[in-house]
Structure 1
Amino acid sequence: MTTEAMIEDLRKLVEIESPSGDIEALTASAEAVAGLIEGRLGGQATLVDSAVGTHVRWSGGGDPRVLVLGHHDTVFPIGTLERRPFAVVDGRVTGPGVFDMLGGLVQAIHGLAALDDLSGVEILVTADEETGSHGSRDLIEERARACGAVLVFEGAADGGGLKTGRKGCGSFQVSVKGRASHAGLEPEAGVNALIEAAHQVLAIAALGDPAAGTTVTPTVASAGTASNVVPAAATVVVDVRVESAAEKARVEAGFAALAPRLDGAEITVRGEVRRPPMPESASATLFAVAERLLPGVPGVAVGGGSDGNFTAAIGVPTLDGLGAVGGGAHADHEYLLVESMAERANLVTGLVTAIRSFRDPDAGRNQRTI
């Protein structure tokens, strides 16, 4: 395993753009991911077609014991590569998706390639993580239960930290129906959806509870059609992050209880906290192993969600943030640090070895255990 080889493999993946929802692009990307897995690990990868894009599955054979989980879709539209091509300059790799999360996939594959025996290892690389994993969640949970331990290769936290906890996250849309009228001649004949939406924004924001780690943030709003018309419709989109199942239930109940303030106004609420919280308890055992393998590596609870939220919520030990060390996810300055690539690949090798030893009923007494 060499860093140069990892960089070249990463270049191949990045130069096949893979925006979420673009089925043709995601198919090409999945084929490239499958080819990389087969070329480095042997065996045959399976392309799983779905309405949201093509997922990639691979197994090293034997009883499943550890799931290597990632995604190959990115947030960047076709054409981003032309404006921001793959490059390696001053120890940094840049280009769309290098940090989130193509770099992590490459490191995981190279780390597995260092193992003499790949039995018990499964890889699942999905095509819709960036849009909420609506089409892959069932498959993710099925394979997590079957394997019993999950390693997630999202980008590392700041400073290279592993992600030991994540907030649950979701999105809500509040739609307001009012009644249009002429804003100058008879404003009283209308029902102003924008004023109703303003009342709702204040009620929604009040659902937040910083002391409990809960953020409820109105992020997008729209209303009206012309400057001289009382608006008949408005919408408000809200981002929600919670640290506990109790807060998830409280916030969802709060949205369900929203009621119109203006006579004649109607509101409709859609949404949920789709990704449940990933408690730090879910990662404790695996993080202890990582600390032994990479002394001093920090563990960090973060606000963003990943597919690790799903696997942790069903009770499967899950460790996240094992991917690239860098930053700028979803931004033009996204980057990966070259100096960390080999170290993180070696961490994969050690984690998988330890997990399999721990979960092997025939393991000898002198084998490393979790």
Structure 2
Amino acid sequence: MRVPVKAMLGLAMAVTVQLADAQQATGPLSPVEQQIVAEIHAHAPQALELLRQSVLINSGTMNQPGVRAVGKLFRDQFDALGFQTRWIELPPEMRRAGHLLAERPATSAGRGKRLMLLGHLDTVFEPGNTTPAWEPQPEADGKVLRIKGQGVSDMKGGNVIIVEALRALQQVGALEGTRIAVMLTGDEEEAGDPKTISRGDMVDLAKRSDVALSFEGSITNKDGMAAATVGRRSTAFFELEVKARQAHSMGVFGPGGYGAIYEAARILDAFRQQVVEPGLTFNPGVILGGTEVGYDDAASRGSAFGKTNVIANTVTVKGDLRYLDYAQRDRAQARMREIVAQSLPGASATVNFRDSYPPMAVTPGNLKILAQYSQASQDAGLGPIGAVPPESRGAGDIQFVAPYIDSLDGLGASGGGAHSPNEYLEVPSIERSAIRAALLIYRLTRQD
């Protein structure tokens, strides 16, 4: 399966045109926008302190009390900004803490785009993790430009940026009459199943919004330009089951057939060579083969038994499948099924697929929001914003809402090492990202 390049070239052309539009000469900030920027600068120490407080509360996804405590910390911030807040409970059997929802009070004089802002309260660092929670990294002159810690950039820094952007708007009177909702989920790192429930309120909010902005970490693209996310690949799974005749190994390649392991190897290598498109990947994460195989999905652990003088009769393969859009998914799945059906003698196989996170397709609407974000950044003297290739980011909450509304991700803090003991945040990025976000929100809430 080779590349249908016309669509890819068209997409590249659209990105280039949109960014060219966004990179026109910097325009002046209005007096109100100048006040917004000044408010963010003035409040920078308090913003860093809010980040510190949130990071010192362990909120690993499975630590429900910790997630709720971080939710309470941010809920207090939104209450003080005049938002109506509530905690969304999830069924106890899902073993998740729930989500925080904050909304501007509804008014008949509402104006501008209806915005939903997304963040998450949880981290991958469960209680007992030895990674230091908060570890400033001072420079030679004593300045702290980088902080290491649990979830500093993924994504408690992003949550703080949401608060700081909205606080600046509130201070200059620019929140009045706006229609803004904020959802901070409690299980982004490991979303509860079924996702129709764990993400049901988010989808409902999207259906009554116009634009979604998500504050996962900001990154730099290959050209060294600050970049935001206009597309993300799906997260899905495949399961390959292979059966064969068990027999003495001396008969392999003959009447006894090739066995399940050779058949699995044939299939996987054919996937690698024949199911090829830009942005499409599939990873066989675990494989078990022999005459007795068992796999525990909940524990992601399995066992296998076999002897070297016996032709293996069974193989199980578990893997993930990531695609840019549903058309690409359907092409890949169809070709994979064709490959599976071309069995070696004495063997047979089946492949099954399961979707998890939907893809966030690159759309003209997403590119338009990126162009406006880039223009706001340039107007503030912070330079243009490029686009992150969809295949370079993992799954995120925004993918559940992107099918319904224009969406942009990556508005959060800059840093690196996410999900590792070396996770860090660049301190100046709190101010930079809050300024960009506040200006974008201000302008969107004044558009029809």
TM-score, normalised to structure 1, is 0.84
Count of aligned pairs: 355
Q: Distance in 2 between matches of 1:286 and 1:101?
A: 22
**Aligned twin of 2:101:** 57
* CA apart distance, 1:322: 0.2
**Aligned twin of 2:199:** 137
Ranges in structure 2 where 5+ consecutive residues have no aligned partner: 1-39, 139-144, 291-303
Pick which of 331-340 and 301-310 moved more: 301-310
* CA apart distance, 1:6: 1.8
**Aligned twin of 1:244:** 325
**Aligned twin of 1:205:** 272
Question: Which amino acid counterpart does residue 57 of structure 2 have in structure 1?
Answer: I
Q: Which has the larger radius of gyration?
A: 2
| Residues 1:186 and 1:320: Cα distance change in structure 2 (over 3 Å) | closer
**Aligned twin of 2:209:** 147
Contact 2:238 2:351 in 1 (8 A): no
Q: Does 1:84 align with 2:132?
A: yes
Q: Distance in 1 between matches of 2:124 and 2:274?
A: 29
Pick which of 26-35 and 70-79 moved more: 26-35
Question: Which amino acid counterpart does residue 409 of structure 2 have in structure 1?
Answer: D
| Residues 1:352 and 1:198: Cα distance change in structure 2 (over 3 Å) | same
Question: Which amino acid counterpart does residue 375 of structure 2 have in structure 1?
Answer: R
SS in 2 for 1:102: helix
Q: Distance in 2 between matches of 1:178 and 1:27?
A: 51
SS in 1 for 2:230: strand
Contact 2:324 2:390 in 1 (8 A): no
Alignment counterpart, residue 159 of structure 2, candidates 76, 94, 105: 105
* CA apart distance, 1:327: 1.6
Q: Distance in 2 between matches of 1:182 and 1:38?
A: 72
**Aligned twin of 1:121:** 180
RMSD: 3.0
| Residues 1:262 and 1:328: Cα distance change in structure 2 (over 3 Å) | farther
Identity among equivalent pairs (%)? 27
**Aligned twin of 2:402:** 312
Cα shift readout 1:272-296 (whole Å, capped 9, x = no counterpart): 3642232142312212221221113
Pick which of 259-268 and 143-152 moved more: 259-268
| Residues 1:185 and 1:329: Cα distance change in structure 2 (over 3 Å) | same
Q: Does 1:342 align with 2:431?
A: yes
**Aligned twin of 2:354:** 271
Pick which of 146-155 and 262-271 moved more: 262-271
Q: Distance in 2 between matches of 1:192 and 1:22?
A: 45
Cα shift readout 1:141-183 (whole Å, capped 9, x = no counterpart): 2211211111111111225311122233322222334566776
**Aligned twin of 1:363:** none
Contact 2:59 2:122 in 1 (8 A): yes
Ranges in structure 1 where 5+ consecutive residues have no aligned partner: 360-370
Q: Distance in 2 between matches of 1:206 and 1:273?
A: 25
Question: Which amino acid counterpart does residue 83 of structure 1 have in structure 2?
Answer: T
Contact 1:282 1:312 in 2 (8 A): no
| Residues 1:202 and 1:54: Cα distance change in structure 2 (over 3 Å) | same
Question: Which amino acid counterpart does residue 79 of structure 2 have in structure 1?
Answer: E
| Residues 1:185 and 1:193: Cα distance change in structure 2 (over 3 Å) | closer
SS in 1 for 2:371: helix
Contact 1:168 1:248 in 2 (8 A): no
Cα shift readout 1:112-158 (whole Å, capped 9, x = no counterpart): 11113253110011123223572433322221121111111111122
Q: Distance in 2 between matches of 1:182 and 1:152?
A: 58
Q: Distance in 2 between matches of 1:274 and 1:83?
A: 29
* CA apart distance, 1:69: 1.0
| Residues 1:175 and 1:70: Cα distance change in structure 2 (over 3 Å) | farther
SS in 2 for 1:45: strand
Contact 1:205 1:217 in 2 (8 A): no
**Aligned twin of 1:47:** 87
* CA apart distance, 1:197: 2.3
| Residues 1:33 and 1:252: Cα distance change in structure 2 (over 3 Å) | farther
**Equivalent residues in 2 for 1:210-229 (5 A)?**
210=277, 212-224=278-290, 225-226=304-305, 228=307
| Residues 1:262 and 1:94: Cα distance change in structure 2 (over 3 Å) | farther
